[in-house]
Amino acid sequence: MIRAFVGVRIDPEVVERILEIRFKLPESGAGIRWVRKENLHFTLKFLGPVEENRIAPIAQSLGDNLKAIPRFEISAKGIGVFPGIKRARILWVGLEGEGLRPLAMTVERALEPLGFARESRAFSPHLTIGRWRNFDGSPERLGEEIDRWKNHLMGKTQVNEVVLFKSVLKSAGADYSPLEVFSLADPGTHL
């Protein structure tokens, strides 16, 4: 079995700016487990454990469907938490870009015939940057921090490709490596 997901890599300069946040979140950063620099990415679809013989059909379907999607730009902007301020578990950076929703829908359409159910949660593009096991800080202070950062632009990433990643869980955290890379279309090209 291969633990797999479909995602987008983030520009290294943007990653560096995002990582600076951890030094600027006073009490809110207490007790948080930060995502490693090399693991910051935007997950389009988590596939879970997949039989090795299913990887080729998955890659084929993604390649066929993604080749018509034009390249686009996304912005990393603002921070937030899931599920909410009083029970914060995930700290995230928001992502914005007109091409995000069509890209996510294309991935869903490509994988649904292969037995992967469509995502039932509302589409909320973000990068997970940290996780709390038990947030024990002040929800009010965390709310102030989120408000302070809500319009902070951390940079832009050109989305030229989508990656089918393999995830290997280790004691120090997950290691991600590409199984297949799918180039998106030049915006001037009409297929």
Catalytic positions are: 41, 126
Which are the contacts of 13, defined by CB distance < 8 A and separation ≥ 6?
Answer: 155
Name residue, tokens 């007109």.
98
**Burial (0-12, 13-18, 19+ Cβ within 10 Å), 70:** middle
What's the rounded Cα separation, in Å, for the pair 164 and 158?
18
The CA distances from residue 32 to 9, 29, 49, 53, 131, in Å, are 23, 6, 27, 38, 5
DSSP state of 186: P
User: Is there a contact between 162 and 66 (Cβ–Cβ < 8 Å)?
Assistant: yes
